[in-house]
Structure 1
Amino acid sequence: MFNRPRMHRSRPPLPGSASRRTVLWPFVISLTVVLMVSAVKQEDFKTCAQSGFCTRNRAYAELASGTPDWESPFRLDPTSLQLEDGVLTGDLIHAPTSSSSSAESGGALNAGYTIEVHLLDSDAVRVRMNERDPKRRRYDGLQKSVLVKPLVSSTQYDQLGRDEDGLFTINYGSRRQNSARIRFAPFQIEFLADGVSTLVLNEGGLLKIEAAQVWSDVADTRTRTPMERRLEQGMWSERFKDIIDTKPRGPESFGLDITFPDIEDVYGIPEHASSLSLKTTRGPGAQYNEPYRLYNLDVFEYEIDSPMALYGSIPFMLGHSKDKTAGVFWMNAAETWIDIEKIESTSGSSRRTTRTHWYSEAGVLDLFVFLGPTHRDIFKQYSSLVGTTALPQSFSIGYHQCRWNYISQKDVIEVDAGFETHEIPYDVLWLDIEHTNGKRYFTWDPKQFPDPFDMQLHLANKGRKMVTIIDPHIKMDRGYHISKEATDKSLFVMNNHLKPFDGWCWPGSSQWIDFENPRAKDWWASQFSYDRYKGSTNTLFTWNDMNEPSVFTGPEITLPKDAMHYNRVEHRSIHNIYGAMFHAATAQGLSTRNETLQRPFVLSRAFFAGSQRYGSVWTGDNKASWEHFEVAAPMLLTIGLAGLPFSGADVGGFFGDPEPELLTRWYQAGAFYPFFRAHAHLDSKRREPWLFGEPYTSQIRAAIRTRYSLLPFWYTLFQEASMDGVPIIRPMFFEFPSDEATYRMEDQFMVGEALLVKPVTTAGATQSEVYFAGNEKWFEFYDGQVKQGPGVQSVSSPAYKIPVYQRAGTIVPKRETPRRSSKEMENDPFTLVVALDSKGEAYGRLYLDDGESYEYSRGDYILREFKVQGSVLTSRSLNRQESETEWSFIRRYSSLKVERIVFQGLSEPVSRVVIDGRPTVVESWHDVAGKQHVVIVSRANLSIGQDWSVSLS
């Protein structure tokens, strides 16, 4: 059995079920029969040609590319420019030239617009454009949900004024290292880093802002040419299938091209089941014929290698080449499409330039530009706006066991016992919608879960937690307290007639909380109090699903765009952030339900920029196939690059029945996902880790135990991400930015800067091709065998393990005693695995806190730096506050021990090890080739909270 401590829903079938694919008339009273289909139904979701504003903006781009000497119809009035306190303001004038006039027949001519360029103290730049005197005010409330604090303008800039080329230039940045070069006519802004052109706005002249109009202003369209009709498609109403979007505000979309000069690879804009380096959607040889779409949707068993929209949207893009890096954040939560094209460089570079074209349906044009110069600088700049990932409770980075559904309290106890019997650690058991009383959230089925308090206590006694699902659709039932209160307080979303919106979801007739209403968030959070959520305890946490939001009877399985939120905000303006607002309110509820604030754990399916502040996400309803397993890595890497590092994919695949080899390989890779959860559909066969028998049970156990042995390393990475905004799992190019061979590499990744992981995603494979980057050594994680980079090498990947290597120059902290949960490991000693580089040096850190509260924010934590230089390993504190006062956690856990130290990569044998002046017993050996020596100090007995040194000679 486990060693004891020393001291002391999954998801319902989504858009593929017959019951969701047919019209659900009011007389339908239940969803009792679910018929599975093989794949997503493409016809249920729009293409660009079926989206009016996408068609209009794409047609505009086609007109521009097909028109000789095309020029943007926008110019900047030089007499209007004012630069004060780091903000440049001016007037943009829409004055079509002869080349562009034919494209403007459906728009308001000579309309006036404003432009603002904000130079920020983070070295980022914000660019905003809006109508000066709109007939209808555009939605501009997104920043209150997305930005973490008021922006501070920079004082570090020089105004150079207008030069002989008609350019207005501002040098800005902490070292005046960046420049914004503004061209008046045609309007354009070029951003330069250290004099090198790095990002350009409107270089292709595709800026297009649809000024607010009224129907009576529109000329007769009967004589329009085909191109003019495309430029006016869907401006006033739009039909998709049997549902009409009334568009009461008329057209209000806008678009802009953003160019990355001499940067051939761009990344980000999740969520899509696509490649890491984004593919082209326009131009010769385009790899996709549709733009990338950002529109949160409930997509059943999604298609891979597609730009189709999925559950989440983060409009952040990173461009990278060998000598420059740039990022852009397009702050808009309306439906957005992005075209990507590769064009020849105008600078003579052998690398192509990437031109992107962004267009959104509503809101204001509001974007941020980041010039780095490094990836880490960009993530610091970006996270200063939208926030870093919340430091989670420590249990949440353990293993999670879930399926739709564990059907009863007895079932829960039996599954828990199975983990005990087979000596497999886990931290969390999950319950899906069937645990509720008739799909009423915050309730329990009284027959199947008669004593939820006792059930949670049973798990808590072993250090384990539970998660229950709570979705945003609320069953219409005056006898259901949530429904009644929200109705009485007018907290539901309205339809376009300003009546409560009634749609269909799992409970049948349902309504949706309006989180745009400032009263709704606090009210929703209050429902998690123990007196409101009967049967809940402080070891019960939450899963927010279906929060795109999913509406079975809605267009594209979601809320109609003309649904109304508080203050008459149309849903179209805030669609992509709805799920994040729901996520935020739930996290608030979990945090404030205790007198002493407790960190929440909330998993969300939908997400937007800023979701990282509230919890974790996952990649939705994947499939038990090798193809879906393979695409999980680039999807998770992309989500991390967009600032949301706490993500995972359903291990084993949600739909279908994985063969034992696939399931095992997925566990081996999933142990290196930031969020590690196995999950399965109601109609799939039970697949708890022991059900396939040997050798699979042992192989899965080993994978999960590997995760637990590395929990100190993972928690330290989460702390780093919470401070700097850096991804936790990283594309190879992130750690090796000058190595062009890594730029499109997505079949292996780094965990932090120390571990290289290569998932085995092919059936029957026993050998893997691994790229070892850098001119350095890599140490096999399990046996210490050495590989020398750079280059590809074939390595063994037998059924019981996948290739995992530790990078030379790093130190990885571990805990190696098997336990039943992470809670039972908290008093265990540590092992330090030291991988020396060619200079005999290495570096690493270890972060510890109580894993539950916010006391770390006041300084109650342990943060140690480990460093090897000159054959001496030292430990010192990086907590600048611990010497000032005696904190509870520091006092209790400073005596934890570093018991074992493994030194790898020694160039010479070691005859003596001295720990703080005392010689100690060591084990030492060299490898079969005699090229590296390994020393193991087995009884170091060093306190984690004290400074110390270990000398090798």
Structure 2
Amino acid sequence: MIINSELEQRGNQFPNDIKEVRQEVDTIYFTTLNEVVLQLTVIRDSVIRFRYGTRGILEDDFSYAIDTDSYTGYNHLELTENKNYHIVTTAKLIIKIEKISLQTKILDKEGHLINEDEIGFHYEESFTLGGNIVKMGKRAHPGETFFGLGDKPVHLNLRGKKFTNWATDSYAFGKDTDPIYKSVPFYIGLKEKKAYGIFFDNSFKTNFDFCQERLDVTSFWAPGGEMNYYFFYGPSMSDVVANYTHLTGKPDLPPLWSLGFQQCKWSYFPESTVKALAQKFRDLRIPCDGIYLDIDYMEGFRCFTWNKEYFPDPKRMIGELEADGFKTIVIIDPGIKIDPDYWVYQEGLENDYFCKRADGPYMVGKVWPGECAFPDFTNPEVRDWWAGLFKDIVGDIGVRGVWNDMNEPAVMEVPGKTFPDDVRHDYDGHPCSHRKAHNVYGTQMARATYEGVKKYVYPKRPLVITRSAYSGAQRYTSSWTGDNVATWEHLWIANNQVQRMCLSGMSFTGTDIGGFAEQPTGELFARWIQLGVFHPFCRVHSSGHHGDQEPWAFGDEITNITRAFIEMRYTFLPYLYTMFYEYSTKGIPMIKPLVYYDQEDPHTNYRTDEFIFGNCILVCPILEPNSKGRRMYLARGTWYNFWDNSIIEGGRELWVDADLDRIPMFVKEGAIIPRYPVQQYVEEKVITELKLDVYFKIGKEASQVYEDGNDGYDYKKGRYSLRNFNLTGKEGELTIQQHKSGTYDTSYDTIKLNLIGLSFEIKTITVDNVEYDLNILENDGKCLKLSKNFAVVNLMG
């Protein structure tokens, strides 16, 4: 044990005795004799903010991560004290602050310890850089596990590892590479089956140690800024993630087509190549909604321009693609080519919009176009200007989505691969160096892009994709996990990264299916497609330098498997869209690791491969070559094998057969899964019938289906359809109740119930108290067609 005096000799300083306590409504200030201030704010009964200042000073309070519309308010707040502690009590928590040290203990209402400081807040004056190195040490308990932290390419459980958050262009990263593209300083702890979360809202290079250096201590620190963190209490992981997502913001619904399949490569050009690609998708009947143009569509890699040789009339081309069901998405990078004849550079220069070095010259760095200047996206005036640049490309030419790359920001031919630390930023009126702005740069670029695309694609909805992100980026943008590699290890990484991003508030995420660098085998591509169709963002992307990576590039067998799984995704679109509705309204992750799904089961703390797609479908990808199946863990409960409808009890490991045309998939008993017919693109067909796969169970289960106009903003005025279904199964009886809300009138008039696993033969059918003839049953008594407005259907054996 290192005692305080020894630590102080190393330059660490600690709070000492509390000399003053004052309360201002929801905020309590504790000040020590050596002028350390703890500002404790009760945001909700289970969400507490801890903010520390030294020399009696708290910085200007500003954060890019916090959603200004996030709900706050608590039911109870009481401040008391005893001999050793000041005690803050809310409706859900008891927070004890030690009088001689400011160290805190957080307990639930029953007095069970949830989280406690080890040495707590301490700091070191940084005389070389200015400001403080701020540090926090927390005690870790035996069996405590840790999850979250964004896109880290490691085992889901973070215990025993150490991480840095510094957005980094990490081409061909590998397992355990750190840091990579995103900076999400939020993690979830699970102690004695109770969950809590910590969000260290500090945009400097933050560091986290989960019991690596000392087996019983977790710590987080940063070389600048404030010790400013939010504590979330569950006790369920779902409460922690939802509260974090509320705080940092939830996205609007995307256009439904953006949940369809997308095809990308570096690069599709000229126009004839793009048109041939689109034609091949339609000829082979492989559904696809989006085609991406990489940097070669531009004139000399200048953003917001078109190469007239490759794309002589982009508006016509994009219109023709749109007529065939393809949306066009283009890449836009932050580097603006230094060229006096280039209008974007001229405007930026005239208005002083580019980042500068400390002594005044512009920040110059080499990227694809050569020497570039970089807009300061932390300046609101620059963001407005940038948004306006999309008028032509989106508003006139018809591009439907924008993909922001290289926005860590990435710079070539320099050791750190990014801006030097002395670059200056506006930081929305809080001027700072790049040390503070680096991690938020990509998110602020995506934000500016989002505002532009949203404005000029109106009345449609925008799609923005980003590579770099900080907490809160989900308000503006979807993301992908960056430049991965076509290897089996990367398939494992892909599965982990998307689960982790979903836990970290950023559900609208996917990976470069098949791998960006190098070339996959047909088998690897097929297995990756099988995983990728269950990711919220579903896009094939490759560097194209090692060969083609379209669905038909690997021979007929792989083409047929790929088509079948992409078709499956399209049939699941209403289920996927309902998942997104739950995410955008309640902050529920679209994909749930098993530990989120069942934190009470100790086995789930150590599982990485299996996940829950939405609420009811358990998926386990095949991650090794030449596999005819695999061992996997089936979560507790009763499940139907998706492929043959056999019923299996969970809570155990089992072997599952899975030839190359299968992925292990299980559906929870009692689930009602909405399905559409296969379409080549979203809205190719008018949906004339909603099919519901009803999985019988004895007991009760609730499901819902959300639908709206698939694009546009009418849903915000109540023009949506939300069907809530309650299933009740008994021996020899099944009842399904429907309650519908919203004013949207769906295109279909009938709902078809596909009854799976019914344990009896139907003898009577009652719909809304009217008895029906058994002749209305189809498919040997397994299907029932009803009016879409039925309220109660009752089937009896």
TM-score, normalised on structure 1?
0.79
Q: How far 1:69 sits from its partner (Å)?
A: 14
Tell me the residue number matched to 1:824. Answer: 684
Q: How far 1:858 sits from its partner (Å)?
A: 1.8
Q: Which residue type is aligned with residue 209 of structure 1?
A: Y
- CA change 1:548–1:304 in 2 (3 A) is same
Q: Give the whole-Å Cα distance in 2 for the aligned partners of 1:197 and 1:435.
A: 60
Does residue 66 of structure 2 align to residue 146 of structure 1? yes
Tell me the residue number matched to 2:446. Answer: 583
- Aligned counterpart for 1:544 among listed residues 388, 404, 427: 404
Q: Give the whole-Å Cα distance in 2 for the aligned partners of 1:656 and 1:689.
A: 16
- Aligned counterpart for 1:476 among listed residues 325, 338, 361: 338
- Aligned counterpart for 1:801 among listed residues 646, 662, 687: 662
Q: Which residue type is aligned with residue 69 of structure 2?
A: K
- CA change 1:206–1:194 in 2 (3 A) is closer
What does 1:97-246 correspond to in 2, within 5 Å? 112-121=35-44, 123-132=46-55, 140=60, 142-144=62-64, 146-149=66-69, 152=72, 154=74, 156-161=76-81, 163-164=82-83, 166-172=84-90, 176-200=91-115, 202-203=117-118, 205=119, 207-211=121-125, 213=127, 236=128
Q: For the Cα contact (< 8 Å) 2:20–2:32, is it kept in 1?
A: no
Give secondary structure in 1 for the equivalent of 2:502. helix
Q: Give the whole-Å Cα distance in 1 for the aligned partners of 2:233 and 2:374.
A: 40
Tell me the residue number matched to 1:865. Answer: 724
Does residue 759 of structure 2 align to residue 907 of structure 1? yes
Tell me the residue number matched to 1:385. Answer: 247
Tell me the residue number matched to 1:571. Answer: 434
Q: How far 1:320 sits from its partner (Å)?
A: 1.4
Q: Give the whole-Å Cα distance in 1 for the aligned partners of 2:188 and 2:63.
A: 21
Q: Give the whole-Å Cα distance in 2 for the aligned partners of 1:167 and 1:155.
A: 23
* Structure with the largest fraction of strand: 2
Tell me the residue number matched to 2:150. Answer: 270
Q: How far 1:113 sits from its partner (Å)?
A: 2.4
Q: Which residue type is aligned with residue 589 of structure 1?
A: G
Q: Give the whole-Å Cα distance in 2 for the aligned partners of 1:474 and 1:71.
A: 43
- Aligned counterpart for 2:20 among listed residues 68, 74, 80: 80
- CA change 1:641–1:150 in 2 (3 A) is closer
The number of equivalent residue pairs is: 788
Give secondary structure in 1 for the equivalent of 2:345. helix
Does residue 286 of structure 2 align to residue 420 of structure 1? no
- CA change 1:270–1:544 in 2 (3 A) is same
Q: For the Cα contact (< 8 Å) 1:77–1:90, is it kept in 2?
A: no
Q: Give the whole-Å Cα distance in 2 for the aligned partners of 1:701 and 1:906.
A: 31
Q: For the Cα contact (< 8 Å) 1:298–1:550, is it kept in 2?
A: yes
- CA change 1:406–1:950 in 2 (3 A) is farther
Q: Give the whole-Å Cα distance in 1 for the aligned partners of 2:347 and 2:74.
A: 47
Does residue 208 of structure 2 align to residue 338 of structure 1? yes
Tell me the residue number matched to 1:622. Answer: 484
Tell me the residue number matched to 1:661. Answer: 523
Q: Give the whole-Å Cα distance in 1 for the aligned partners of 2:157 and 2:307.
A: 47
- Aligned counterpart for 1:317 among listed residues 181, 184, 187: 187
Listed one character per residue, the Cα deviations across residues 62-85 of structure 1 (whole Å, up to 9, x for unaligned) are: 786987999995335433111231
Give secondary structure in 2 for the equivalent of 1:685. coil
Q: Give the whole-Å Cα distance in 1 for the aligned partners of 2:338 and 2:95.
A: 54
Q: How far 1:144 sits from its partner (Å)?
A: 4.7
Q: Give the whole-Å Cα distance in 1 for the aligned partners of 2:476 and 2:635.
A: 35
Q: How far 1:526 sits from its partner (Å)?
A: 0.8
Bigger-Rg structure (1/2): 1
Q: Which residue type is aligned with residue 131 of structure 1?
A: T
Listed one character per residue, the Cα deviations across residues 493-525 of structure 1 (whole Å, up to 9, x for unaligned) are: 111212211111111000111012120111111
- CA change 1:878–1:498 in 2 (3 A) is farther
Q: For the Cα contact (< 8 Å) 1:292–1:309, is it kept in 2?
A: yes
- CA change 1:706–1:597 in 2 (3 A) is same
- Aligned counterpart for 1:646 among listed residues 486, 489, 508: 508
The two structures, once aligned, show a CA RMSD in angstroms of 2.5
Q: Give the whole-Å Cα distance in 2 for the aligned partners of 1:788 and 1:125.
A: 40
- CA change 1:198–1:529 in 2 (3 A) is farther
Q: For the Cα contact (< 8 Å) 1:199–1:261, is it kept in 2?
A: no
- CA change 1:613–1:623 in 2 (3 A) is same
Q: Give the whole-Å Cα distance in 1 for the aligned partners of 2:391 and 2:790.
A: 41
Tell me the residue number matched to 1:721. Answer: 583
Does residue 160 of structure 2 align to residue 301 of structure 1? no
- CA change 1:62–1:857 in 2 (3 A) is farther
Q: For the Cα contact (< 8 Å) 2:354–2:373, is it kept in 1?
A: yes
Q: How far 1:647 sits from its partner (Å)?
A: 0.6
Q: How far 1:115 sits from its partner (Å)?
A: 1.3
Q: Give the whole-Å Cα distance in 1 for the aligned partners of 2:384 and 2:234.
A: 38
- CA change 1:198–1:720 in 2 (3 A) is farther
Q: For the Cα contact (< 8 Å) 2:96–2:105, is it kept in 1?
A: yes
Q: Give the whole-Å Cα distance in 2 for the aligned partners of 1:859 and 1:533.
A: 28
What is the aligned-residue identity percentage?
Answer: 27
Q: How far 1:386 sits from its partner (Å)?
A: 0.8
Tell me the residue number matched to 1:930. Answer: none
Q: Which residue type is aligned with residue 190 of structure 2?
A: H
Q: For the Cα contact (< 8 Å) 2:679–2:685, is it kept in 1?
A: yes
Q: For the Cα contact (< 8 Å) 1:910–1:924, is it kept in 2?
A: no
Q: Give the whole-Å Cα distance in 2 for the aligned partners of 1:628 and 1:418.
A: 28
TM-score, normalised on structure 2?
0.94
Listed one character per residue, the Cα deviations across residues 680-738 of structure 1 (whole Å, up to 9, x for unaligned) are: 10312012111222211111111111111101000000000001112111111211121
Q: Give the whole-Å Cα distance in 2 for the aligned partners of 1:753 and 1:86.
A: 36
Tell me the residue number matched to 2:137. Answer: 257
Q: How far 1:528 sits from its partner (Å)?
A: 1.0
Q: For the Cα contact (< 8 Å) 2:14–2:123, is it kept in 1?
A: no
Q: For the Cα contact (< 8 Å) 1:253–1:360, is it kept in 2?
A: yes
- CA change 1:713–1:78 in 2 (3 A) is same
Give secondary structure in 2 for the equivalent of 1:379. helix
Q: Give the whole-Å Cα distance in 1 for the aligned partners of 2:156 and 2:108.
A: 25
Q: For the Cα contact (< 8 Å) 2:262–2:290, is it kept in 1?
A: yes
Q: Give the whole-Å Cα distance in 1 for the aligned partners of 2:574 and 2:109.
A: 40
Q: For the Cα contact (< 8 Å) 2:137–2:218, is it kept in 1?
A: yes
- CA change 1:71–1:790 in 2 (3 A) is farther
Q: For the Cα contact (< 8 Å) 2:394–2:453, is it kept in 1?
A: no
Q: Give the whole-Å Cα distance in 2 for the aligned partners of 1:377 and 1:621.
A: 33
Tell me the residue number matched to 2:647. Answer: 786
Q: Which residue type is aligned with residue 144 of structure 2?
A: E
Give secondary structure in 1 for the equivalent of 2:31. strand
- Aligned counterpart for 1:593 among listed residues 456, 464, 468: 456
Q: Give the whole-Å Cα distance in 2 for the aligned partners of 1:72 and 1:556.
A: 28
Q: For the Cα contact (< 8 Å) 2:522–2:554, is it kept in 1?
A: yes
What does 1:904-943 correspond to in 2, within 5 Å? 904-916=756-768, 917=770, 918-919=772-773, 920-923=775-778, 936-938=782-784, 940-943=785-788
Tell me the residue number matched to 2:791. Answer: 947
Give secondary structure in 2 for the equivalent of 1:662. helix
Q: For the Cα contact (< 8 Å) 1:142–1:332, is it kept in 2?
A: no
Q: Which residue type is aligned with residue 760 of structure 2?
A: E
Q: For the Cα contact (< 8 Å) 2:15–2:121, is it kept in 1?
A: no
- CA change 1:142–1:83 in 2 (3 A) is closer
